[in-house]
A and B are shown apart, each in its own frame.
Chain A
Amino acid sequence: MAAGTGSGSTVSAIFSPVRFWLLLPSWVVIGFFLLVPVLLMLTYSFLTKEFRGGVIWEFSLASYDQFLFDRGLFGDEAPVIKWTYINIFIRSILQAFGATIFCLLIGFPTAYFIATRPIQSRTIWLFLITVPYWVNLLIRTVSMKFLIRDSGPLNELLLYIGLIDAPLHVINTNFAVQLGLFYSYLPFMVLPIYASVERYNFTFSEVASDLYASKVTILWEVILPVVKPGIIAGSILVFVPSLGAFLAPDLLGGAKTFMIGSLIEDQFKGNAGNWPFGAAASMILLSLVLVVLMFYVRAQNKDQT
Chain B
Amino acid sequence: MDRTFDIKHYRGFFSITCLCLVILYGPLIIVMIYSFNDSVSITNWGGISLRWYVEIFTGLESAKFKAAAWNSFSIAIMAAIVSTVIATAAAIGMIRGGNFKGKFASFALISLPIMVPEIVTAVATLIFFSTIGFKLGTLSILVAHTVFCIPFAYLPISARLQGIDASYEEAAQDLFANRWKTFRYVLMPIMWPGIVAGFLLAFIISLDDFIITNFIKGAGIETLPTAIFGSVKQGIKPNIMALSTLLLLFSIALVTLSYFIGKRGEANQNTQQ
- Residues of A at under 8 Å CB distance from B? 1, 3-4, 6-8, 10-20, 22-23, 25-27, 29-31, 33-38, 40-41, 44, 54, 106-107, 109-110, 112-114, 116, 125, 127-132, 134-140, 142-147, 149, 151-153, 156, 183, 186-187, 190, 202, 205-206, 209, 215, 218-219, 240-241, 243-244, 246-247, 251, 260-261, 264-265, 268-269, 275, 278-279, 282, 285-286, 289, 293
From 103 to 117 in chain B, residues with beta carbon under 8 angstroms from any chain A beta carbon are 106, 109-110, 112-113, 115-117
List which B6-36 residues lie within 8 A (CB) of chain A: 7-10, 12-14, 16-17, 19-21, 23-28, 30-31, 34
Q: A31-B109, A215-B10 are in contact. Are A26 and B90 (CB under 8 A)?
A: yes
Q: Which of B205-226 contact A (CB under 8 A)?
A: 207-208, 210-211, 214-215, 225
With A139-B244, A142-B236 known as contacts, the answer to whether A26 contacts B87 (CB < 8 A) is yes
Return the chain B residue nearest A183 by Cβ.
Answer: B23
B78 proximal to A (CB < 8 A): no
A218 → chain B closest CB, angstroms? 7
Known contacts A14-B170, A33-B144, A113-B17, A132 near B25 by CB under 8 Å: yes
Tell me if B236 and A145 are in contact (CB < 8 A): yes
Which residues of B lie under 8 Å from residue A186 when comparing CB positions? 20, 23-24
Q: Which residues of A contact B144 (CB under 8 A)?
A: 33
Which residues of A are found within 8 Å of B67, using beta-carbon distances?
Answer: none
- Give the number of chain B interface residues (Cβ < 8 Å): 101
Residues of B within 8 Å of A114, CB to CB, are 17
A206 interface neighbour in B4, B112, B232, B236, Cβ under 8 Å: B4
Q: A139 and B90: CB pair below 8 A?
A: no
List chain B residues, Cβ under 8 A from A116.
Answer: 8-9
Q: Which of A14, A109, A183, A209 contacts B179 (CB 8 A)?
A: A14
Cross-chain contact A15 with B23 (CB below 8 angstroms): no
Separation in Å of the B41 CB from the closest CB of chain A? 9
Q: Which of A3, A41, A131, A293 contacts B252 (CB 8 A)?
A: A131
Whether the pair B126, A134 counts as a contact (CB closer than 8 A) is no
CB atoms of B179 and A18 under 8 A apart = yes
Nearest CB of chain B from residue A177's CB, rounded to whole Å = 15
Bound complex: CA of A10 vs CA of B10, how far in Å? 41
A139 CA to B154 CA in the complex, in Å?
A: 26
Contacts of B201 in A (CB 8 A): 134
Could you say which residues of chain B place their CB within 8 Å of the CB of A279?
123, 127
CB distance from A250 to the nearest CB of B (A): 9
User: Which residues of chain A are within 8 angstroms of B146 by Cβ–Cβ distance?
Assistant: 29, 33
Additional A-B contact list (13), CB under 8 Å, known A131-B255, A151-B43, A285-B117: A6-B165, A14-B182, A15-B92, A23-B94, A34-B112, A44-B127, A113-B14, A128-B21, A143-B27, A147-B26, A190-B20, A215-B10, A282-B120
Known: A29-B150, A144-B27. Is A241-B118 also a contact (CB below 8 A)? yes
CA–CA, A218 to B67, complex, Å? 58
Residue of A nearest to B154 (CB): A26
Q: Is the CB of B210 within 8 A of A37?
A: no
Residues on B with C-beta less than 8 A from A6 are 165
Neighbour of A244 across the interface among B25, B86, B120, B143, CB < 8 A = B120
If over half of A's interface residues share one DSSP class (helix, strand or loop), that class is named, otherwise mixed; here it is: helix
Among residues 228 to 265 in chain B, which have CB atoms less than 8 Å away from a CB atom of chain A?
228-229, 232, 236, 240-241, 244, 247-248, 251-252, 254-256, 259
Confirm or deny: B139 has a beta carbon within 8 angstroms of a beta carbon on chain A.
Answer: no
Q: Are B20 and A110 in contact (CB under 8 A)?
A: yes
Does B117 contact A286, Cβ atoms closer than 8 Å?
A: yes
Given contacts A131-B255, A264-B119, contact A146 B112 (CB under 8 A): no
Q: Once the chains are docked, how many angstroms separate the CA of A187 from the CA of B115?
A: 17
Q: Give the top 10 A-B pairs by smallest Cβ distance, nearest first.
A: A13-B98, A22-B93, A244-B117, A19-B97, A37-B128, A12-B166, A37-B124, A143-B27, A3-B167, A16-B98
Known contacts A109-B12, A138-B210: does B115 contact A293 (CB below 8 Å)?
yes
Q: How far is the CB of A151 from chain B (nearest CB, A)?
A: 5
Residue pair A135, B248 in contact (C-beta under 8 Å): yes
Q: Are A140 and B28 in contact (CB under 8 A)?
A: yes
Q: Give the shortest distance, in Å, between A156 (CB) and chain B (any CB).
A: 8
Check B24 against A187 for contact (C-beta < 8 Å).
yes
Say yes or no: B164 contacts A7, CB within 8 Å: yes
Is B89's CB under 8 angstroms from A22's CB?
Answer: yes
Measured CB to CB, the closest approach of chain A to B224, in angstroms, equals: 8
The answer to whether A40 touches B127 (Cβ under 8 A) is: yes
In the complex, chain B residues whose CB is within 8 Å of the CB of A282: 119-120, 123-124
Evaluate contact between A143 and B30: CB separation under 8 angstroms: yes
Chain A residue nearest to B144 in the complex (CB): A33
Least Cβ–Cβ distance between A26 and chain B, in angstroms: 4
